[in-house]
Structure 1
Amino acid sequence: MKRKLVAALASIALVNNLTSQAQVVRALNPSVPFLMISPDSRGAALGDAGVASSPDANSIYWNTAKLTFLDKNIGATVSYTPWLRDLVGDMGLMNVGMFKKIDKNSSFGASMTYFDQGEIQFTTNTGQANGTFKSRDLSFTAGYSRKIGRDFSTGLNIKYIHSNLIGNQVINGVSSKPANNVAGDLSFFYTNEKPSAKNKDRGTRYSAGAVISNIGGKINYGRGAFYIPTNLKLGGAINFKLDAHNQFNFLLDANKLLIPTPPLWSNGVIVKGKNPETTGVISGIFGSFSDAPDGFTEEIREVTLSTGVEYWYNNFFALRGGYFMESNTKGGRKYVTTGLGFKISNYNLDLAYLVPTSQGSPLSNTWRISLIFDLDAKKVSNPTEVPTENQ
């Protein structure tokens, strides 16, 4: 049964293969790529950097270990992103989340992400319309964070993933099916503040984080098993508090997918690299640092960089900017991000906008909106808490 599957899956596998540049070789294309789309406006406005940013209600996506440093008892967040609207008109990503402080050393968080991939038109071998299907992905995440020192914490997530791309359609005699999977995240966070000896309103805070996300088995749609986007994220941040009203945050993140690099084929035979279809998940994770056919230089090209700058005035208004960079040979995504943030009473409103650096990018006109609710205005009594950006 012929249909517009190729076009639909091409738009779905957008995270790693958005730019159709001729020099792209061996790009990494995991399944369920919606797990790598930044769900909130603040992180998106900072060039998709957030591993070591100050904690907020969206930390369960960026780095769950940060949750225990929140200075509120309970909060929630909701975000929405129209996705690839220059290509299709009905794609969108929605995320909701919450956190609850258990005590001064531990916190719990949960989130749900829903990716509406729009309606797919099926066709017969002769091109006749043969029904439609609404493709969608969904994930539920629960996380726990605990301090194991004054300045250090760790976090653990477990998530359920559901992906329904084409329902139970039969293609070339093979029946497809919705896919389900379970995965986990392991995260670490360190932060240390150096107040000024001369002025209590001035100081510097250094933060660092590390996350291995989406650790889990392959996902199966009835047509073979595919890797999910297991990913290593490392990040650092520096906060400069200039006075009681002005502060800057500078962030840098590096990401590397821990899945096999596509091998080099010649006449139907692998001459360099490993066959992903026969490589196990654990072997794929550890081998992802040395399996690229072109060696170490190709492994380095698989690292994406995100950098961001954030300015806060009087804990009321935030101005953000960032840049995301990926090697041309691995997808070529490059874009500038910008955004605003406002804190009004117990609410934070964040906006983000993405500007691709190349013409014709399907990421053009991507914007996000997020709202964070501080459901309990009472701060947790804990002298070791690191202030958040909206404190």
Structure 2
Amino acid sequence: MSLTVLNVLELEGLEPMSLRAGLPNVHKSVRWYYVAENEGIAEWIMGGELVFVTGINHPRDESNLLRLLHEGHEKGIAGMVILTGNDFIKIIPASVISLADTLGIPLVEQPYSLKMVLVTQIIGTALVQHCSMRRSQRDILTQMLTGEYPSLDIARQRAEHLQLVLQAPYRIIAMRLAHIQVLFDTLSPDQAETTLQKASLHVRDFLKQSLIYRKEKMPLIELGELFILLLEDRSEGLQQQKQFLHHLQQSAMAEFSPLILRGGMSSPVHSLTQLSQGLMEARRALDIAQAMPAQSGLCDYAEIGVLKLLSAIHDQNLIFQFMKDIIGVLHEPYRKYPFQLIETLEAVLQENGNLIKAAEHLGIHRNTLYQRVQRIEQQTGQSLNDAQFRLNASIALLIFRRWSHHMPVWMSF
């Protein structure tokens, strides 16, 4: 992933630098470095910088160093490096080290004997090289994900040269912002667009940071409005992986209601040649996740069953028409509860035809259920004892629950 504070400390030639605080956050991504020359830094940084404090151009007493940490925390700096020696900042005060730990800011001590010109040259070169490497990795991964590579042999050679190793299985996660229409329905066009752009940038940075903390090997890929993650299928298990993704979705969008982040997960892929198939699975799972507003927002392709077939049908009007043909007559708009018979049919099928359990499930008397079943059979012209009708009805109910809110007006009940 991106160059981190820990990576900086491991660069050849920077051995004299030492970490003094903020150990849990040494995997923060370093966007660039900044040498502080003014009393404060808030108006001079954008976030993600490794801030160097020398004390040469401005006195740096204890109170000023504390202020710099607070400002850096508010701006989201990657870390802070304080130069120490006999001439300017002799030692780092204990209160500064304590505050850095409290704020979660990696705090590094650099002796003045290690020349700044050498340090910035080493870090700048590493950042440029790392950025170039990641750009090339994203390029070849994008080609393999989309199937638009000129030669498989060349793609493999490039992947090996760029240290992209797919020996272990990976799961491809496709994510997309949802409820965008709600955003534009509730805000002015300018406000909605600004919020959407901020949310997109936030999600991108959040996902990148999360992949760093998780120590994933593959970079974040962006394809249009999609965010693509390649998560190593580790021994921790699929359930723990899903929990990580659920937490990621909730945390990423905490500040951007009503926008939410939906996700689709592929089956495991084991090689570069399987990436395009994995992306296809992840995108189909994502489409299903977006059609299920009551769900958690993450859909696993391996668990969607018959929806694999339905999601492969490009003309969704065929799907909606099938549903309407099977259970459309059970919609009774003139009644107080227009979907009562549909819900009754669903309960009966869920209980495998056991009418007593179905009545308990619905909280009604069994005689009431018998009457409803008679109406279902009369209006559909089918018997619930017919296995083919039960199969068709089960699929139609699945469509109704998963896609009914996406139906065109002319197909709606």
TM-score (norm 2): 0.21
Which structure dedicates a bigger proportion of its chain to strand?
1
Which structure dedicates a bigger proportion of its chain to helix?
2
**Larger radius of gyration between Structure 1 and Structure 2:** 2
State the structure with bigger RCO (CA 8 A, min sep 6), 1 or 2.
Answer: 1
TM-score (norm 1): 0.22
